Structure 1
Amino acid sequence: MPEFLNHPPIETATDPVHSAADVGQRWRALMGQLGFGERLIWFAFVGPDRRFIKALSQLEIGPSPTVVPVRRMMSALHDVLDGFSEGTTVAALITRPGRGNAITRGDEKWAAFITEAAAEFGVPIEPI
């Protein structure tokens, strides 16, 4: 069975995160077999215990990568993180229409914008 069709049980969504592969598995458990009709950046917080905090948020994005919405998001996340315990990080997931599609250049550009804006605003992030 192709990997994108085999999803971890939802109960594993808050298992500890110790690697990029763990972050991917937590997102896969949370998203299940959803198909996406729009482009979004999902984000969640990973607590100092390395577990996803049970709250998801999203930012609508367009088809062409642009840095402005990502910078706004990181500025807001920087402020929000002040209310969390030290050691809390942000996990981000980029979704778009389709299922099991390969990573595109646009996906890579969005990820680069997220990484750059996180560094600019001092927001600790997990691998995208």
Structure 2
Amino acid sequence: MNMLPDDTGHADRSDDADPSPDRDVPDRIPFTPLISSQADLEEAWRRLMRPLGWSRRALWFLCLGDDDRPLPVIHEVSDLPEPFEPDDAAKAAELWRVMLDEFAPDGSLAVLLVRPGTGSPDPLDARIAAALYAACRRARVPTQVIHLAHDHAILPIPYDVVGQVSA
């Protein structure tokens, strides 16, 4: 498609009806839903992370502005260290504090832990979530409910149950 302006200053869209496969481009409008509850966040993760299915553990995160809308960038921390130590969580929380200070000073953080497999959060998922919650609390990073995505579902790992799962 020719996107150069014509003599009138408008772009020529004469081949807009072209049904070629490369025309199947997602909307360029950023995904910025209002996230005012855990259910809203879970729905946002479902929309952003489909199709489900993972080959390794990783973390994805979004910064939410003070208006409870995500900034238009999603980040991945791939290949989590094994074992995932509290020091790893502290380093992540320090980075997140800097990012929030820079881009969303009164905002918060949303974290998604991904892994292959199925089922409820397992003890390792809970230990990672507990380490992240604790590190974020120490670094003064306001954190939404951490979620887990695996091959079949996205599930919350709320702070008040991480101790119950990791036992």
Shorter-chain TM-score above 0.5: yes
Aligned to 2:107: 88
Does the 8 A contact of 2:58 with 2:76 survive in 1?
yes
Aligned to 2:127: 109
Deviations 1:88-121 (A, max 9, x none): 11100000113x4321111111111110000111
TM-score, normalization by structure 2 = 0.64
TM-score, normalization by structure 1 = 0.82
Higher alpha-carbon deviation: 114-123 or 69-78: 69-78
SS in 2 for 1:54: coil
Aligned to 2:160: none
- In the aligned structure 1, how far is the partner of 2:104 from the partner of 2:81? 33
Aligned to 1:55: 73
- In structure 2, give the amino acid aligned to 1:126: Q
- 2:61 corresponds to 1:43: yes
- Identity across aligned pairs (percent)? 26
- Structure 2 residues not aligned, in runs of 5+: 1-26, 147-167
Larger radius of gyration: 2
Q: Which structure: greater helix fraction?
A: 1
- In the aligned structure 2, how far is the partner of 1:28 from the partner of 1:97? 16
Bigger relative CO (Cα 8 Å, ≥ 6 apart): 1
- In the aligned structure 2, how far is the partner of 1:68 from the partner of 1:49? 31
Deviation at 1:16, TM superposition (A): 0.6
